């Protein structure tokens, strides 16, 4: 069986690109990205999708409230018979309807070691806090903010002389490694959720 994937992205889509690559080069088997959806008309993620022959959809958030917007997303997910929804730099909270409909089938990437530094500008938050180690997290999405069960994490040390930008770039390198890995584990049916803990079956 092929797992049908939709990616929600608001920006440049470098994580989307690594997932596309990991499917195209056979690292992730039995999966296909059927649609890239964005809330930003000019998101480069949409172009990346088009470059690989993937359908892209811009859904204009300015024309409706959050609940109606989520219903629009759901319509697209149903239309493409999506099994797995990936958030890859999607800067808007998903509402309960989608989370319920896709319970344990929505993954997100967050650029910190959760539960530290939730929300926006996580790299900046970590840098300004003065932590010595930060990183990135792939987690299931639940109703809370960056709060669902954790699938994979990767540590990134904060080095002397780092700026927010250099730190962000090194975290991104790790994001590009663990997101395809998490997708592979999901597609292979290896993720077992027990409470907050995700085991690998």
49 binds ligand GRF (CB under 6 A): no
Rounded to whole angstroms, the maximal C-alpha distance in the chain is 50
Region binding ligand GRF by CB under 6 A among candidate stretches 12-20, 77-85, 138-146, 190-198: 12-20
State how far the Cα of 43 lies from the Cα of 28, in Å rounded to an integer: 25
Q: Which DSSP state fits 63?
A: G
Q: Mask 61-90, x = binds ligand GRF (CB under 6 A)?
A: ---------------------------xx-
Least distance between ligand GRF and beta carbon 71 (Å): 23
12 binds ligand GRF (CB under 6 A): yes
110 is catalytic: yes
The size of the interface with ligand GRF (CB under 6 A), counted in residues, is 13
DSSP H helices, the chain, are 14-24, 44-51, 66-79, 96-101, 122-129, 164-187
11 binds ligand GRF (CB under 6 A): yes
Question: Out of 111, 135, 148, 180, which residue is the one contacting ligand GRF (CB under 6 A)?
Answer: 111
State how far the Cα of 83 lies from the Cα of 85, in Å rounded to an integer: 7
State how far the Cα of 20 lies from the Cα of 55, in Å rounded to an integer: 13
Cβ nearer to ligand GRF, comparing 11 with 149: 11
């Amino acid at each position: 069986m092929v797992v049908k994937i939709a990616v929600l992205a608001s920006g440049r889509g470098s994580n989307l690109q690594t997932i596309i690559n990991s499917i195209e080069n056979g690292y992730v088997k039995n999966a296909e990205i059927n649609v890239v959806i964005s809330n930003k008309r000019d998101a480069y993620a949409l172009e990346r999708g088009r470059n690989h022959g993937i359908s892209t959809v811009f859904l204009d958030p300015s024309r409706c409230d959050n609940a109606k917007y989520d219903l629009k997303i759901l319509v697209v997910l149903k239309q493409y018979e999506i099994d797995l929804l990936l958030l890859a730099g999607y800067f808007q909270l998903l509402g309960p309807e989608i989370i319920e409909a896709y319970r344990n089938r929505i993954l997100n990437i967050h650029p910190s070691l959760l539960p530290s530094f939730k929300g926006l500008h996580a790299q900046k938050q970590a840098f300004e806090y003065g932590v010595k180690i930060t990183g990135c997290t792939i987690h299931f999405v639940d109703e809370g903010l960056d709060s669902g069960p954790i699938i994979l994490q990767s540590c990134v040390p904060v080095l002397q002389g780092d700026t927010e930008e250099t730190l962000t770039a090194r975290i991104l390198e790790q994001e590009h490694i663990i997101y395809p890995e998490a997708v592979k584990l999901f597609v292979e049916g290896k993720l077992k959720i027990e409470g907050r803990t995700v085991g690998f079956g």
